[in-house]
Amino acid sequence: MKAFLQSPVGVIEIEETNGFISALRIVSEMKQTDTILAPVLDEAITQLKEYFAGERKIFDLPLAQEGTSFQEKAWDYLNTIPYGETVSYKEEAISIGSPKGCRAVGSANGKNNIAIIVPCHRVVNEGGKLGGYAYGLEVKKKLLELESRQKNLF
């Protein structure tokens, strides 16, 4: 089951499988959302609206994302990066026990199917340059600016 949400970074498609969020993508167009949504999709929409309004810093949703053990380590690490902060690919690689694995970390993050909720946008190149992002650098920049603005309010 899928739901769609218009957001400040574009149309978000949220996918649910067996009561878990299994994908969050930024897509080109809004499609018809089912009239009756799975409860987890309703909750995801609520939490995303709160996030974009600056009212939510941590998502609390059941997630289902499968990958290699390395990818899963990289994705788990992403959820430890605090709201409004960034780390480098190198810092992430060191933190997950692969100090020479910067490119592998970047590749794993690029395969993250649950964007925003699993915050791969918080990983940047050394020196603070944005690096890559599956949905484009403009979206990554907007997400980081949103978090930076909101963090400074508290």
Identify whether residues 106 and 36 lie together within a single domain. Answer: no
Least confident of 13-27, 59-73, 139-153: 139-153
Across the range 71-92, mean pLDDT stands at: 97
The yes-or-no verdict on residue 60 having pLDDT over 60 is yes
**pLDDT for position 153:** 47
- Specify whether 102 is catalytic: no
The yes-or-no verdict on residue 96 having pLDDT over 70 is yes
Identify whether residues 143 and 110 lie together within a single domain. Answer: yes
Helices 102-110 and 69-78, packing angle to 10 deg:
80
Answer whether residue 128 is part of any domain.
yes
Query: What torsion, rounded to 10 degrees, do the Cα atoms 126, 131, 134, 138 define?
Result: 120
Identify whether residues 74 and 33 lie together within a single domain. Answer: no
Active-site pick, 74, 120, 123, 124: 120
Identify whether residues 139 and 77 lie together within a single domain. Answer: yes
Identify whether residues 80 and 9 lie together within a single domain. Answer: no
Query: How large a percentage of the chain has pLDDT more than 90?
Result: 85
Distance CA 8, CA 124 (A): 21
| Host H or E run for residue 42 | helix 39-52
